[in-house]
Every structure is written in structure tokens, then in C-alpha cells.
Structure 1
Amino acid sequence: MINTQQKTIWIGIIGAIVLSLFCFEVPAQSPMDIEQTAKRLEEELQGSADLSKLMETYRETMQLMDEANRKTGGTTGMQNVPVQPAETPEKEVERRREIINSQFRQAKNMMGNLPAGAEKPQIPEALPLEGYIVVNGGEKEFFSNEVKTDLLYTIKESFVGNLIILHAGQFDREKEYEIQSLSTKINVSSAAGKKCVRRSHYSPSSCTRWTHFLRYDIDKGERYPQFRADVVSAIPAENGKIKVEARAPGVVFRGDDGKTNLGMGCFSATWSLNRSEFEQLLTRGEISLHKDIGRPMGPSPGCRPGSAMTLYLKVRQEPEECKDMRSVELMIASPEDKSRHVFSDEYLLSEHSNKLILELEAKTVPERYADSVEWTIPEIEGSNRTITPASTSSTPKGRKLTVVYKGLPEDNNEFGRKTVKATLKVDSCRIEKTREVRFYYPRDEENNPEGKHPNWFYYWKQTPAARPFGQNVRIAYQCEGIPSEKCKCVHRGVIGQYNPYYSGYKTINICNLKTNTWDPDTFYVELPAVKRSIPSTLSGRNFFSYTYIDTFAVDVMHEFTHFNNFHTFWPQGWKESEDKDEDDIPDRLEKGMKFRPDMKQTYWREVDLNGDEEVLTLEATYDYQAGAYDEYDWAKPGKNWPK
């Protein structure tokens, strides 16, 4: 079932199409047939609250309009709009908007032709909308006045949609509003926490085992085209107010014990706005709302106090359409969509060094308009951009432009997907075309702003791949801080090192992945798939393989686990008397950890893993999901430009 407002909007859309059929002489079947069909469809709308029935009527109406268009050469004014959902959320909301607005334009013009005293239908109009929500929250639970669950996270979800204005009676006076939206991107930028899974038997009890939340899963239903892909909605409320509701995506945090899961408790926020407050979205073009969504602490997990949700909405201005779309055409000949562009290496001649070149070319029909094309060109903060032919305008004109970016930026986020836009304005016509371009850096060069280490090391250190389990850690390159005779990075096959006696606190070393991995092009490595809680991994001999930024991520996790283990097991330094088997785990703890205290390597004995403590580091990366950081890898070669 659907609510009254949603029903009204769908009836408005279908009613507008039926109205256009009455107002044109359409010999698609025959004048009598078309009139009878239109009347039947109009009658079917009345009293229906079933969305599937309304959608069935809508599809039949669209088919009728499509046939009328073909027979009359397009005189109904209804463009051919696909009935099936589009491939992406952006294209889907555009498809829905075109369906609504094509009928809105016709209905507005036809109102004057209705007989005097005739009831005027409610006609919806759609404006493009975009925005995001940010949840800064967490979960907290107590047991006997002690913390049992403690989790913090930051989640951002971007969306596109339509602001639907329902015009009732007078077009410029009586209005109602609704928002429909679809998710485009979900990013869990930080998540860290723990939950007690075992308590002591004595009184007062205390926690003896914690599970840490190291990874998460996003409900598949949250992504388009699934049914929970909506993010924000707005509907009329009592006393002329408008109810705006934002719903966070469903995220489940997974414990490292392989059994404990915790869902989000901070999942929604609601605002009740009066009409003038809401209409700031139309007058200013944007609006930002903030709300505290935390709840009082209790014995069960919940959205912890201090948690908040921010909602940002922006109405995008659609380009004005040409009165005759067939008279003018605009095409982007270069660059190609999703084309890849990389900064050059460091050369002896500086004019060829550290440059990314972007060639732009537009074609028009008629051809004489090509020199009037305006370009919106992406900036790269920290890189000097020059445009030829030179122009002081922020949107330079020309059929052909050459854009040169000189110098690699400091920020890794400046690479990746960008948008080039071409705009043509001719009298009342405005046409826009866009292309996605992708910017990369040469992975193994050292022409980053610091210039000391390879680009992959410089840029990947800025990404979440460099924060093992959400922790901040200092990452040194190769043998930095370690005497050469103690440095293991000089040996091929060793990709990382933690030395408790020479490395600074919370400092790990990452070796040269180009020279020390199995494949210098892909940074390919294999690690044993071992986990004591999964017996089959101890008897079997399976390996996980990693490449590119995944290799870097598991390397950091692996070495950081060495750091944690050393400071947990040996706060006063390693003691031979307490570790007779020299596996770097105190003998007194090994039995409880399912290790043998009289054997350096309990499992996989035919493969030299370098002791039982090494098994703990392999377990730390067991649940890592390859591809988790693909969106941050803009190296060539890399995850987004594989060799």
C-alpha cells in the first residue's frame, strides 16, 4: 500500500498523460478508440491505493502515448522515455524526472483549454536534487556498571533524487512537496570498537575476552536497484508542515572472533519544517539540517549519547532546453568517456616532467557553433593548470583546448574520477554534455611533492589502508630507523618489518614492494590462510593472494599486529626464561591459546612460518577483504589501471 501523497503524485502523472490525449487529435488507433481507452484509464485511477495497480495503469498509458507519438509524428510532445528502470541511480532519477516534467509542461499549457468550471488536476513537477547524510555515532552498552559494548563510526551516504512539487489549482500558489531519492555511494570512513564476549566467573566479574570490530558489511538491499536504496524522503505533515526523514544505510559490524555481529543503532532522523523553512531549498538552492539522535544509555546496545546526523540537500539547476532539440547538436569528441590520464615521470628536461595533459574537442551541428562551446574543466589542487589557447574565464570557450597540469598534488584525493563538461548556448537553447575522466600518478616514480620515496608509498600512506584496524600508526620506508645489519627489508620476499628495539613507538617499516614482492608489476604476494578458530585452515594448506594496494594494506596490518603482540606479551622486553620454545609468545599463555609451549611452531610445521606468534599476525589479516581500498588506488599500474 502507498500513502495518500504518493498516490496523488502518481495519479497526477497518469492524469496529465490522459489529459494530453484528450487535447490532441490522435489517430493512433482511431479517434473513437483513443478516446474510449483514455476514459477507461482515467476511471481506473479513481479509488486505487494499490501501487502495483497504479504502475500497471501507468505502463499502459505510456504505451498508448508512445503509439500516439508515432502516428502523429510527435505532436503530443511526449518524448520516448524508457519504461524499464535505468542502469544507474543517476540515470534512473533523470528518467523519472523526464516522465514527470514532460507531462507537467504539457498540462500547464493545456489548462487554458479546459472547459469553464472543470476541475483542474493536481500536476507534479520535478526538480533535480542531490545531497548526502553523515552519521557520527556509535553504540554503547553497560553490564554491572562496566562497559560491555563500545563502538564508534562515521558513515556518509550520498544520493540523487527529485524534489517533486505538486501544483494544485493555481500553479504559482497552491503547492505541496515530496522528496524521492536513491543512494549513489556509501562510505564507512571510520569504525572502531569492541564487545565483551566472555566474563570471569568470580564476583565481581570482569571481562576476560574482547572481540574487536575490524570489518563491516553493507546490506545489499541499500544499493540501487534494490528496494531499500532510498535515503531521504519528505511528505506533507499536520499544520501545513513538511516532514523530512533521513535513513542511514544498514551496516553490520563484524567481530574478529568470527561470531559476533553488531548492527547500527543510529539509523534515522526526522525534521518537521514549516513551509518557509523548507522553501529555503528553492530560494537558496541548498539547505543543511543537523540533529542529535543519541539515546540515553541502558543495558542494551543503542545509539550512544552525542551521536548526530547531518543532512545536506541541494537543488541542481537544470540546463534550459532548446525549443527545437533537433536543430542543434553538441558532441564531445575528446576526451572519451572514462578515459585514463597519467602524470608523466621525472625527466631531465623539466618541460616534459610531472605533467598530465588533457585534450578537449567539441563538435556541433551546425558546425559554426563549435567555437562557442564553453568548457568546465576540473581543478587539481596543488597542481598548476594552464589552458591553451589562453583564457582568463573560468569556463573557457573553443572547439579545441589543451589542458596541462604541472606538478603532482599533495593529496591522494585529487586523483581519481573527474568530470569535464561542455556547454553550448544558442539563443534560448542550452545544451550540456559531460565526460568522466580519470587521473592517475606513475606508481613507482618518486616525483611526488616530498620526492623521497616511491609515489605508491607517499599516497597510500594517506588512505585508510594505512590505518590498521582503524588505528593511527607511523609507517617508515624500507630500513628507515633500523641499522642495515638488522634490517630484513634487504632480503627479497620480506615485505615488512617491526623491530621493537630500534623502531620508534607505534612505528612499522614497509619494504620496497616493487623489489620484494613476487611480481614487481602487480606487487603480488601470498599469505597462509590460517585461523585457529577454523580447524580446516590448520589441516589444509590454502593461501590468500593480494595485489597492489591490498598488498600494502595487509602488510601494514601484519606488522602492526607484531607491534601489538610485543607490547602485550613483553611489556618489560622479551625474556628467554619465559619463552623456552622461542616462538615470541610467553610459555605460560600458549596452552590457553591452543599452542604447544614446547614447540616453536605448532601448526603448518612443514612450512617455516617463523613461530607461533607469526600465526597470530596471519590471523589478523584472515578476514581482510581484497578490494576494500580499490577506490583509493589511483596508481598506474594499480587496482584501477591493472597491468
Structure 2
Amino acid sequence: MGIKSKIFLVVLVVSFLSLFYFITHAKSQSQLEQQLREIEQQMEENTNINNLLDKYKKVIETFNNNVDSFTGMQNISSRPADNPEKEIQRRREIINSQYRNAKYILGGLSEQVENPQIAEAIPVEGYIIVESGEKLLRDREQIEREISYAIKEKFVGNLVVLKTYNIHTGKFENEKEYELDTLSTDIKVLSFAGKTCTKWSYYTPKTCDRYANFILYEIEKGEFYPNFSSEVVSISTVDNKEMDIEAYTPEVTFYAKDGLDKIPVSIGCTTGKWRLTSAELEKLLNMGAFTLKKEIGSKSNSIPSCSLGSTMTLHLKIKRNEPEQCTQPKNIKVEIIKPVQQSKYVFTDDGNTGRLILELEAKTTPSGYEDRIEWEIPEMEGSHKIIQPASVFSQPKGSRAEVMYKGLPTSVESFGIQKVKARINVDGCTIEDTKEIMLFYPRDAKNNPEGKYRNWFYYWKQTPAAKPLGQNVNIEFGGTDFDLCKGGHVVAIFKPDYLFKTIHVCDLTEKVGGDFKITIPLVNRYDLSTLLEKKLVSYNYIDTFAVIMIHEFTHFNHYHTWWSGKTEQQRAEEDRDHDGVPDRLEPSMDLDPTKFQTYWDHDEDFRDIYGDEEFLAYESTYDYPIGKFDQYDWGKPGKNWQE
């Protein structure tokens, strides 16, 4: 049985055996006591997860049939809830039911028995982010496989505080133990890129003649509720003074495509662990929210699947002020009138700041509850929020309000689909309405926080589209006096002689404008159809940016793999056909070492590909999936706001 499975069962066993302890010592319940003792023994000796679940359900049924006769507890459902949020709440109610009812039992316990432990569950929420990858080398030089990825997983849970009641003093002891029971609510692959070699050269030392890019991924079904592997974070006691917080990476498989073949690779970084003293943990918990970050990469070359520099970030928030329990739902509704569902908002292009105005309006049925309306609106770091009518609160209140965001935010994540909520609380019952809105920036303006270059360049630099094949590269806006950005068809450039390790992206607004559309040859040495039939492919908006980054990064890789540090004479000797590819490599790469351009050299249009090395750069985007980065394109105009 895995660690994740054990954690949930430990929480349940502690909760129910605590209640069992109270019942068997509070008064004579011979039949109930006997049933519970039998179940207790079976649960402690059992390691089969399915059998343990069956025993757990028997515990529930036994309590439902007996415990309300002397504790006044409501029946507890033995059926898991429909979603993780409700399931965590159900588990919390199970645990806290014995905590609430302890006052009826503690005073009657005999001083001859051991001090009992009582579990209290506190709601928490949070997320983990793993940024990692792997790099596998062959013969210590050639890249066999490399991949980088960033994954974010959100969770809800219960912080279970185990308190020991001292029968002699009639008080709880100061020392506590902690468990953390969590369930995944959302898993997103924020970015991924990489390649794996699918064809090696015939000569020695081996070099890779063909790479396939990782373009697909699949999240294992077991990572989603109600499966036990949906556990995300746990806390476990090491000894009396130390505890471990452990976060588990979701199981994701990435696939590279080589023709019809799918080549899988699994995540190598599986866990992040923080060891803290009890005092350190309690200090973090008392803060209400905290963030921990840890390097989890392996320093050993024998474990390349979790590369050095990989990190795990954990953010956990304690929801201490849980709303009063809603015992009787009210026949009251709150309805958002403004904004309407899926409405679009864009920052203005006025000077060097930019403003966005969000009007809020809601009503209640029946009327009379409007003054209780509380709003939850998007937070945008770097943008100053002004609320009218003026309020001392950070969020608007009342049936009508206007919010002005002044200045564009610093992060691209502030844009896109955001939520606006209006809620009221009546006698512990929360009634709310939610609308989704979409936030945009003026694409071609220069009123971003830096204010130097176009907004699209400022925000797209923050996205995975700016990391060709998952690699971090230097990106500069526009060209220089000596480069080719002035040329009519050039949209980006890598020039090793002058711009070492830097890709310059030309001003696409001036170069192509409108929808940023470019059309390039669709070629691949191993797709015969692209060699027999002239094919073109068009890209626009953020796809254009991503494709030119991959194209120029291919030039970058070729230069640093083949030519860096070599003289012009050495290059001339190794590349007699002047196509940019070393002659010795060309046969194994299905290229002709006697030709400047092996394919399409006879065609008047495709002859402009201009050589085999340039052909390989075009080929590098052959399997780029159009729309891959649509979720990051929130400029107007753009993928999500087309004119």
C-alpha cells in the first residue's frame, strides 16, 4: 500500500478509534464495544486498501446505528462525495464530529485509563508547482533525450491536529501532532518542450541524425479524484520534535512523435520533502499561509531523469475562519447583472499607463439583502486598484460598484479568463453567483510596466512560447544596424558573429502587422509527401512568435554544435558545399554532401530556402501544433480576440 493511501486511512482510523475510545470508556455499550473492537483489530492488521475501505464503511454504519443514542451526532455518509471539495468537507465533518462531542464524554473518563487523543480538522487549500526536466547524454556529449516541464497542481485538504487530553488536569496538553489529508482539484501542464533522438549515425562516435519533439502529454487517470493517488501533500511525524512535509508530483507522460510512433517519457522528479521542527511548522501554520521552495534535482549523473536545478514549490493556506455551518438552506438568490458571462475587457492605450474599468452590479431575490453583497474580483499585481464608492475594504461591497485598474499588470497570468463573484451570507449559509470575464492588453502599444517595447513582446517573453524546445535563451526586441531586420521577409535573426547566444525578434507589428501572419515551407526529410509536393503552412499571432523562436534556436544549436570556435578555413574544409552542415554528417542525415540544397533545389520558389542548414531550420517546426500557446495570447488583437 502506497504512502498516499496510508495517509488517508491513518486520518480515518485516528478519528474513529478516538470516538471508539470515548464510547467504550464513557458508559457500558457491550454490543457496540465488541463490534468496534473487532473492527479496530481488523483495520490495524490489514494492509489491503479495498478491505480497509470495507472496514471503514462498517465503522460508519455501526456508528450511524448506535452513536446518536447517546451523543446526539447526525448520521455520517459512508459514500464518497461527488467531488474533492465536498469529499474533504465530508471527511472534516467525520473528524470534527467527535471533537464537538468530546465535551459530553471527557468528564466521565476514568483516571485509570490512558490520556486520549482527539483529532480536529482545519480546512486548507493550496498548490504545488514542479519545474523540472531531464537531460540524457550519450557518450557524454550527444543529447539522447532532453525535456523540461512545469506542472501546477491545486488541492484542498484538512490539516488534522491531534491533541492529547490530560485526564488528571482536565486540559489539553501543549504538544500537538499533525497530519495532512489532501485531494487534487486541478492539474495543469503549464509548459513542456524537448526532444528525443530517433536515429543515430552509423559511424563512431555516434551522433544523432534525427530528433523527434515532445508535443503531447497525458495525465494518469489515477491522479484525479476519487482515486487514492490524488493525494498531493502530506505531513508526517518523524519524532517528537521533527516533522516532514512531503509533496507528490502528479504522474504525467509526455510523448514525442516520430512518424506514426509515439515515444513516451515519464516524470522523473516525483517528490519534494521539507523537514521542519515542530516549532518551525507551528510558526508557519500560525502565519495563515506560507510558501516553501526546494531544489529536488539529482546531483548524480546516474539519475538523469530529475535534472539538477529542478524545483518544487508548495503554497498552503489555512482557512481558519470557516463560515458558520449552514443548517437550513435559504430560499435566497444573488444574481450578477454586470459583468455578463464571457464579456471582454481591454486596457486602454492612453499614454504610458493604461486603464481598465470593471462595472459591478448584482441583485438579490427577494430584495433587501443588497447591502450584504461582497465581491471577489481579479487581483493584478502591479496594477493599482481604485474602488468606487470608496471603501476601506480591499474588495467592493454592495449592489453596485466600479473598479478601475490603473497601469498594466506585471504578469501575463493576470490576463485571460478570470472570475468575478458576488456572495452574501445569511445565517451561516453562503449564496453566490459567478461570472467569467476575459481580460486583454492592447497588443501593439508600449504601455507595459517596462514601457520600452511592444506589449506583445513584454508578455510573450514570459510564456513557454519564448522557450524553444524548453530552453532559456536571450531574446532581444528588434535588430541592430548591421542585422537583417530591415529586410522585407526577415522576422527574426540569430547572428553568432555579433549577437552571441541571443535571438533578435523583429518588430512584428511593423513587419507583418494585423494578425502577424507568416507562411513558410512545410518540409521534412522523412515525410515523402513534403518532398514530392510543394507544401506551405501559415501561422499567426502567438504561433508566429513561437515558430520563429524555434527556427532561430535551431540555427543557434547548429552553430554551437558544429561551428563554434572554428576558423573560417576550418569551416571551409569541413563544409565544401557551403550549405552550413558538416560534409561528414550529411550522408547519415539523408543529405547530399555535394549539393548546397539537397531538396527542392530545382524549384524556383523553394530554392529560396537557401541551403541544407536552412532546410533543417524549417524542418524543426514541421510538427509544431498550431494553437499550442493560445492560452497565453491575450493581446487585442490575438488568438482570443480576433478583429
TM-score for the superposition, normalised by structure 1: 0.71
User: 1-side partners of 2:141 and 2:332: how far apart?
Assistant: 68
Is 1:97 paired with 2:88? yes
Equivalent positions of 1:559-570 (< 5 A) are 559-562=552-555, 565=558
Over the matched positions of the two proteins, sequence identity in percent amounts to 30
User: 1-side partners of 2:443 and 2:621: how far apart?
Assistant: 25
Superposition deviation, residue 162 in structure 1: 1.4
Superposition deviation, residue 276 in structure 1: 3.7
User: 1-side partners of 2:601 and 2:65: how far apart?
Assistant: 71
Superposition deviation, residue 95 in structure 1: 0.9
Question: 2:385 matched to which residue of 1?
Answer: 385
SS at match of 2:387: strand
User: 2-side partners of 1:319 and 1:480: how far apart?
Assistant: 62
Is 1:556 paired with 2:549? yes
Superposition deviation, residue 558 in structure 1: 1.9
Structure 1, unmatched stretches of 5+, are 20-35, 69-74, 87-91, 490-495
**Equivalent residue for 1:595, pick from 587, 591, 595:** 591
Paired residues of 1:17 and 1:65 also in contact (CA < 8 A): no
User: Relative to 1, partners in 2 of residues 1:484 and 1:296: Cα closer, same or farther, differing over 3 Å?
Assistant: closer
User: Relative to 1, partners in 2 of residues 1:327 and 1:209: Cα closer, same or farther, differing over 3 Å?
Assistant: closer
User: 1-side partners of 2:142 and 2:558: how far apart?
Assistant: 24
Is 1:459 paired with 2:459? yes
User: Relative to 1, partners in 2 of residues 1:78 and 1:375: Cα closer, same or farther, differing over 3 Å?
Assistant: farther
Superposition deviation, residue 192 in structure 1: 7.5
Question: 2:248 matched to which residue of 1?
Answer: 247
Residue type of the partner of 1:552? F
Equivalent positions of 1:277-288 (< 5 A) are 277-287=280-290
User: 2-side partners of 1:161 and 1:456: how far apart?
Assistant: 35
Equivalent positions of 1:545-624 (< 5 A) are 546-562=539-555, 565=558, 590-596=586-592, 597-598=594-595, 600-603=597-600, 608-609=605-606, 610-611=608-609, 612-624=612-624
Superposition deviation, residue 99 in structure 1: 0.8
Is 1:402 paired with 2:402? yes
Residue type of the partner of 1:532? R
**Bigger Cα displacement from structure 2, 251-260 vs 412-421:** 251-260
Superposition deviation, residue 388 in structure 1: 1.9
SS at match of 2:368: helix
Paired residues of 2:346 and 2:636 also in contact (CA < 8 A): no
Paired residues of 2:215 and 2:624 also in contact (CA < 8 A): no
Question: 2:270 matched to which residue of 1?
Answer: 267
Superposition deviation, residue 508 in structure 1: 3.6
Superposition deviation, residue 623 in structure 1: 3.9
User: 1-side partners of 2:109 and 2:486: how far apart?
Assistant: 96
In the alignment of these two chains, the number of paired residues is 602
User: Relative to 1, partners in 2 of residues 1:138 and 1:113: Cα closer, same or farther, differing over 3 Å?
Assistant: closer
User: Relative to 1, partners in 2 of residues 1:390 and 1:269: Cα closer, same or farther, differing over 3 Å?
Assistant: closer
Residue type of the partner of 1:315? I
Question: 1:23 matched to which residue of 2?
Answer: none
Superposition deviation, residue 540 in structure 1: 6.8
User: Relative to 1, partners in 2 of residues 1:526 and 1:482: Cα closer, same or farther, differing over 3 Å?
Assistant: closer
The superposition leaves residues 166-207 of structure 1 with CA deviations (integer Å, 9 ceiling, x where unpaired) of: 6577495586532233443455668789999969977xxx66
SS at match of 2:605: coil
SS at match of 1:378: coil
Superposition deviation, residue 315 in structure 1: 1.9
User: 2-side partners of 1:636 and 1:144: how far apart?
Assistant: 49
User: Relative to 1, partners in 2 of residues 1:178 and 1:524: Cα closer, same or farther, differing over 3 Å?
Assistant: farther
User: Relative to 1, partners in 2 of residues 1:242 and 1:438: Cα closer, same or farther, differing over 3 Å?
Assistant: same
Residue type of the partner of 1:130? E
The superposition leaves residues 528-577 of structure 1 with CA deviations (integer Å, 9 ceiling, x where unpaired) of: 54332555654577766644322321122224434655785697779999
**Equivalent residue for 1:316, pick from 316, 319, 322:** 319
Paired residues of 2:76 and 2:94 also in contact (CA < 8 A): no
The superposition leaves residues 423-475 of structure 1 with CA deviations (integer Å, 9 ceiling, x where unpaired) of: 6467x748474746444325555363477876434432443313333242434
User: Relative to 1, partners in 2 of residues 1:546 and 1:5: Cα closer, same or farther, differing over 3 Å?
Assistant: same
Paired residues of 2:460 and 2:466 also in contact (CA < 8 A): yes
User: Relative to 1, partners in 2 of residues 1:479 and 1:430: Cα closer, same or farther, differing over 3 Å?
Assistant: farther
Paired residues of 2:577 and 2:596 also in contact (CA < 8 A): yes
Residue type of the partner of 1:314? K
Superposition deviation, residue 220 in structure 1: 1.3
**Equivalent residue for 2:121, pick from 97, 104, 126:** 126
Structure 2, unmatched stretches of 5+, are 22-30, 67-71, 166-170
- Which one scores higher on RCO, CA 8 angstroms, separation ≥ 6? 2
User: Relative to 1, partners in 2 of residues 1:56 and 1:515: Cα closer, same or farther, differing over 3 Å?
Assistant: farther
Question: 1:441 matched to which residue of 2?
Answer: 440
TM-score for the superposition, normalised by structure 2: 0.71
SS at match of 1:555: helix
SS at match of 2:89: helix
The superposition leaves residues 213-256 of structure 1 with CA deviations (integer Å, 9 ceiling, x where unpaired) of: 96476551175346644332223445575443223344667789
User: Relative to 1, partners in 2 of residues 1:548 and 1:642: Cα closer, same or farther, differing over 3 Å?
Assistant: same
